[in-house]
Each structure stands twice: as structure tokens, then as C-alpha cells.
Amino acid sequence: MEIKRDMSVSLSGVRLDNPVIPASGCFGYGYGMSEFYDINILGSISFKGTTREARYGNPLPRVAECSAGMINSVGLQNPGIDAVIAEELPKMRAAFHKPIIANISGFSIDEYVECCEKITGEEQVEIIELNVSCPNVHGGGMSFGTSAESVAEVVKAVKRVVTKPLYVKLTPNVTDIVSIARAAEDAGADGLCLINTMLGMRINTATRKPVIANVMGGFSGAAVFPVAVRMVHQVSKACSVPVIGCGGVESAGDVVEMMMAGATAVEVGAANLRNPYACKEIIEALPAEMERLKIEKLSDIIGIV
């Protein structure tokens, strides 16, 4: 008798049919991909990082391929929170009928609060993902996410205005990821997402100039996977809120490994940019991977290591 494999998971009461989520910035708003396959196969979608004002992003060139990964410095290109709510969300919901994760970015606490207050009232959105990797323009330009105090301050401010589960996406560019994660949890975060991109740089030796106009950018792809697994494991052991694992995920085996490390769900980022069908192929391969490893329910393996 064939065993039915249960791939469903729950994030703060929000049920996902499977744990696979395209990461913010790597899948747009999803509806564009619906021309290629039924995106409702996905567990959820985290849409492009959204700020108060429309942003063109950083100067070109802003993407560079590397061995086992890529560097990007896109700079949060987006149409702004009001346009996302008025134009993008309706188109997204018309194509995607499952839970939507809103990735919110900001350069001041006021901006985070304003954007989150607006998005929390949208019924299409079921989880808010706070990107704290942005430079704090009122705090000397350091990323909010590199300071436990800054993380706590922004989370507390946002929690006062949101009615949806609030997940905080953490930067790996810190000495002690656990202290940052605990600060977010203690401030009221309902969940955590990690890791965001690492900081990288490449040089064109022929021109003797950086390949990215912004000099440095976010390094992502398969090369960062072991770092992401390590940090997910550390944080899931230290905190009691759910963790979304992200960073270098490229296969069904990677999803299982990330969940064993402590992730309840898994975001797939750079793999989508190389192969638009990456998430679809991972989801379709999961049942066979579960069978191979004798896993009946994916939720049973969360944090077993």
C-alpha cells in the first residue's frame, strides 16, 4: 500500500500545503511566472521587498555571476507601498490563491511602521516579513539587523501596528546571530527568517574595477547553504518561534536538510534566477525524497538534529 506523504506545515497558524516559498526579490510578484506553470503548486510567495516610496534601485551593473552563486546589489527596486497595494496585490491574488508573505523594507523606523500598518490591513497578506538588512539612515547608516538593540526597537514599533504574524528576516553579516534572533523574539517577533545574503565583492581583473557598480553586494547561491544551515540550527535551538530557512537551497534534499536543522518552511532565492522552474521541480521531487528517507510527514523532521 502506498503511503501518502504529508508535506504541509504551519507558520504561526498559517497552513502551507508544502514548505517551499520563493524568496523575496527572486520571484517578483509571482503572477508573471503563472505564464509558465501553475504557481499554486507553491506553499507561499514572499513578494519583492517594499518600501514607502518607489525605488529605481542601485546603478547598473548590479548583478554578477560567481562560481556556486551570484552577487547582487539591486537596491530594493519596487513601486512603493501604495502602488503595491493598489496594483500588484490584486494581480498577484488573481493568479495565486494561497497565503502571501509581504516583505517590507525601510530606512527608518517610521518607514517600517507606515508600510507595515498599510499592508497589515490587506486581506491578501497573511504574514509580514520584515527585512532588517537595510541601512538605518537615522542611525549612522549601519544595517538595522546588525544590532540587537536596533532590531528590538524596530520590531517593537512594528508590532504595535500589525495584526498579522510578523517574521523578521535576519542578516548573516553579524558576529552572533543568536543574540540578534533572541532580541527579535523578545521584542515580539512571531517568527524568524534567515539568512539574507552575505556581503561579497568581485573584481574584473581586465578593467581593474569592481564588477558591481555599487562595489559590494549580496552574495547568495549554493555556496552559502552550509552557513545558512548552521545559523538556522543555532537560532532554532535558541528561540521558540518558527524559523523560515533561506540561503542556497537548490533541491528537495536541501529542503529536508534545512528542516532537520530547525526550519519550519524554506525559501528558495537565487535558484529561481538561474532556473525559473526551480521551486516547481523541488516541490515535485519532495515526495520521492520523503519516500527515500522514510518520512511520512515533513513536520515530523523539523529540528530533529
Residues taking part in catalysis:
134
Calpha distance 179→147 (Å, rounded): 9
Residue 76 φ then ψ, to 5°: 55, 45
Please, which residues bridge with residue 78 across strands? 55
What nine digits make up the cell of 267? 525559501
Calpha distance 12→290 (Å, rounded): 24
Calpha distance 4→290 (Å, rounded): 10
For residue 219, the number of C-alpha atoms closer than 13 Å in the C-beta half-sphere is 20
Calpha distance 184→189 (Å, rounded): 6
**CA max distance for the chain:** 63
Q: Give yes or no for a contact between 182 and 238, defined as CB atoms under 8 angstroms apart.
A: yes
Strands 243-246 and 191-194 turn out to be parallel
By CB atoms closer than 10 A (0-12, 13-18, 19+), residue 185 is: buried
Q: Cis before residue 195, ω within 30 degrees of 0?
A: yes
Calpha distance 60→227 (Å, rounded): 29
